[in-house]
Amino acid sequence: MNSSEFSLIGERFSDAFRLSAEPLVVCGAEGVPVDAVPLPSVHRCIAVAAIRMAFGKIDAPALYLSEDVKTGCCPGGLAHMGFSGRSDDISWFVSTGHPDVRGGAAEYLKADPELVDACFARAGPVSPPGRYLVIRPCRTVPDDAAVSSLCLFGTAEEVRNIAALVHFDRADPFSPVIAPWGPACATFVSYPAGMAAGAPHDSAFIGPTDPTVNHALPPDIMGVGIPAAVARRMAGNLDASFAVRRPRVAFPDHGREG
């Protein structure tokens, strides 16, 4: 795909869905982009760093992460980006806790560690999209970037409309949009970017179902991770869809009845 398209796709999505947050892209690169800063310099959490970028809370035009540039980043996030192995301790920490793991601290996101292991097994091995993983606003995408996915943030109404456009040209009423389990960075980055071998390659991922980032994500905002090929289809469908042809249905005047 010609990556220069994504500047236009991001602009069209911003206009059609009335997004206040910047659309982001996830790219792979073999060298450090000249305008990028190490992601851990913004925040140890990959998802929080992306949220801050989308809402204009950082000045950096691009963020990057790699096997060589990961100090200060969340170990779980690094595992979900394919830059490190997954410690067995994570299964305890994410579920019930264990006295020998972080002093018994736990997130209680799963009923038991076996379920965590099973979920990770289903997600499969994770491979970065290049030597460097890069996250940047759509409007800054260079022509030679290898774009893997988009990440959009919006209100409930905006996200509902985004999901409706994903479904526009699909026969299956269930799988085109899913709310996966996993850390927010997986929902925003590794699942839609095709980095996790077991993640569906033709679905948009809505969420996150990860309450540990609720402190950084406004309560009325959700994210949607969209594979590049799906985003391109959506952009191609915009003019024929409700988003352009019936905008008052997509965004009604809530101050009026009926």
Identify the pLDDT of residue 256.
Answer: 55
Question: Using CA atoms, how far apart are residues 250 and 162, in angstroms rounded to an integer?
Answer: 10
Question: Using CA atoms, how far apart are residues 6 and 25, in angstroms rounded to an integer?
Answer: 8
Nearest to 29 by CA among 145, 203, 190: 145
Question: What residues contact 136, with CB distance under 8 A and at least 6 apart?
Answer: 24, 25, 27, 33, 36, 53, 61, 62, 63
Neighbours of 125 (CB within 10 A): 11
Helix 156-167 with 5-17: angle, nearest 10 deg: 120
**Is the pLDDT score of 193 beyond 90?**
yes
Can you tell me which residue has the tokens 């289809």?
233
Identity of the residue numbered 15: D
**Is the pLDDT score of 226 beyond 50?**
yes
The band of 258, judged by pLDDT with boundaries at 50, 70 and 90, is very low
The band of 59, judged by pLDDT with boundaries at 50, 70 and 90, is confident
Q: Provide mean pLDDT across the span 209-224.
A: 97
Identify the pLDDT of residue 4.
Answer: 81
**pLDDT tens-digit profile of 2-25?**
458 899 999 999 999 999 999 999
**pLDDT tens-digit profile of 90-132?**
999 999 999 999 999 999 999 999 999 999 999 999 999 999 9
Can you tell me which residue has the tokens 């003019």?
239
**Three-class SS state of 101:** strand
Element (H, E) at 77: helix 75-81
Residues recorded for the chain? 258
Average pLDDT, the chain: 94
Identify the pLDDT of residue 255.
Answer: 63
CA distances to 7, 146, 163 from 143, in Å:
10, 9, 28
Q: Provide mean pLDDT across the span 60-82.
A: 93
* Percentage, residues of the chain above pLDDT 90: 90
Identify the pLDDT of residue 83.
Answer: 95
Element (H, E) at 163: helix 156-167
Question: What residues contact 187, with CB distance under 8 A and at least 6 apart?
Answer: 47, 180, 205, 206, 207, 208, 209, 210, 223, 225
Q: Provide mean pLDDT across the span 67-77.
A: 91
Identify the pLDDT of residue 1.
Answer: 45
Contact 116, 94 (CB under 8 A): yes
CA distances to 11, 35, 46, 156, 173 from 134, in Å:
19, 11, 11, 27, 32
Question: Using CA atoms, how far apart are residues 52 and 57, in angstroms rounded to an integer?
Answer: 5
